[in-house]
Amino acid sequence: MENRGRQKIAVVAVGGNSLIQDKHHPQVKFQWDAVRQTATHVAAMIAEGWNVILTHGNGPQVGFILRRNELAAPHVHQTPLDVIGADTQGSIGYMLQQALDNEFRRRDVYRRAITIVTQVLVDRNDPAFQHPTKPIGGFLEKEAAELFAAEGWPVVEDAGRGWRRVVASPQPLEIVEKNAIKHAAETGWVVIAVGGGGIPVVENKHGELRGIAAVIDKDRASSLLASDVGAELFLISTAVEKVALDFNTPNQRWLDRMTVREAKRYLAEGQFAPGSMKPKIEAIIRYLENGGRQALITNPENIVRALHGETGTLVLPD
């Protein structure tokens, strides 16, 4: 790629709805449809003059691979969770690369996308490892769950529906490949990175990196990356056009903008649901308190309108 000079960098985090829009149609051919649709919106943003670093979720895909492991267990070896994370970074990155490159050709825009398989350093002493809470994979009978437990997988009984493996969700400390990601973005590449929150790694006693069974929150890792590369914008693309207060109640109110102070107040009031909007707001607060300039939340089809101030929820420093 030619050096395009310093352009505005945006970290854009796309949620699972950008990859699997209908839980009843998870097959790869339908994932392709969703990815190609997402690519049109990201390409439109790039045509507006942004250099984009794209991050993405991988939860459903990790679950599918774990299920294949379970079904194939009598015949082939199992795959460690860190390697599954790498697998999904490669496969989803490939899909996004191809969809974006095809969209650039259609628009006659000289840009290209690359995927950087990304490791994220976590602390092996993070309290999350003592209390794994993130369920992964399918439901198991008790006997199968006991086999996984004997192999070192923590398991829990899940609301009477069966047993599931759980893993830790530690805090991301460092994006190992951050310098390569930043350099590529600054020289004009559209970079796909930190897929699924990154591959969790820890340092051993020799200072060497080793994978560990965990799942890092995608929005937390994207927030850290946005700070590391000095992004002018952190955009979270999700299922709703704007953030709402009193969501799904008769008093629901859409928010056009809010400050960090207001966001913290809404969090304290319990306005944002855990596992849904709460981690997104927390990630944005962290980015803005680390020197970030602005953040946006909207859905994929409204990205460009949100950039023009026509929709979405804009979050600004105090």
Q: Which CATH number does the domain housing residue 224 bear?
A: 3.40.1160.10
pLDDT at 292: 96
Alpha-carbon Rg of the chain, whole angstroms? Answer: 20
Report yes or no on 39 lying in a domain: yes
Q: How many domains does the chain have?
A: 1
Of 15, 16, 137, 312, the active-site residue reads: 16
- Please indicate whether residue 280 is annotated as part of the active site: yes
pLDDT at 147: 82
Q: What is the full DSSP assignment across the chain?
A: --------EEEEEE-GGGT-S-TT--SHHHHHHHHHHHHHHHHHHHHTT-EEEEEE--HHHHHHHHHHHHHHTTTS----HHHHHHHHHHHHHHHHHHHHHHHHHHHT----EEE---EEE--TT-GGGGS--EEEEEEE-HHHHHHHHHTT--EEE-TTS-EEEEEB-PPP-EETTHHHHHHHHHTT-EEE-SGGG-EEEEE-TTS-EEE-SB---HHHHHHHHHHHTT-SEEEEE-SSSSEEESTTSTT-EEESEEEHHHHHHHHHTT-S-TTTTHHHHHHHHHHHHTT---EEEE-GGGHHHHHTTSSSEEEE--
Task: Give the domain extent around 113.
Answer: 9-119+189-196+216-241+252-266+273-316
Sign of CA dihedral 244, 279, 87, 228: positive
Is 8 within 8 Å of 233 (Cβ atoms)? Answer: yes
Of 17, 69, 102, 211, the active-site residue reads: 17
- Please indicate whether residue 160 is annotated as part of the active site: no
Report yes or no on 150 lying in a domain: no
pLDDT at 134: 76
- Please indicate whether residue 218 is annotated as part of the active site: yes
pLDDT at 162: 81
Pairwise CA distance, residues 259 & 274, whole Å: 20
pLDDT at 2: 40
pLDDT at 1: 39
Is 196 within 8 Å of 225 (Cβ atoms)? Answer: no
Residue 121: both structure tokens together? 């350093």
pLDDT at 283: 97
- Please indicate whether residue 8 is annotated as part of the active site: no
Strands 190-192 and 51-56, sheet pairing: parallel
pLDDT in tens, 49-62: 999 999 998 877 88
Of 178, 182, 242, 280, the active-site residue reads: 280
Report yes or no on 162 lying in a domain: no
Low-confidence residues of the chain: pLDDT under 70: 1-6, 16-18, 21-23, 137-138, 158-159
pLDDT in tens, 249-288: 999 999 999 999 999 999 999 999 887 899 999 999 999 9
Report yes or no on 106 lying in a domain: yes
Of 218, 242, 302, 312, the active-site residue reads: 218
Of 63, 102, 134, 162, the active-site residue reads: 134
Question: 130 forms bridges with which residues in the sheet?
Answer: none
Report yes or no on 61 lying in a domain: yes
Q: How many CB atoms lie within 10 A of CB 291?
A: 9
Pairwise CA distance, residues 297 & 281, whole Å: 9
Report yes or no on 166 lying in a domain: no
Report yes or no on 38 lying in a domain: yes
Report yes or no on 127 lying in a domain: no
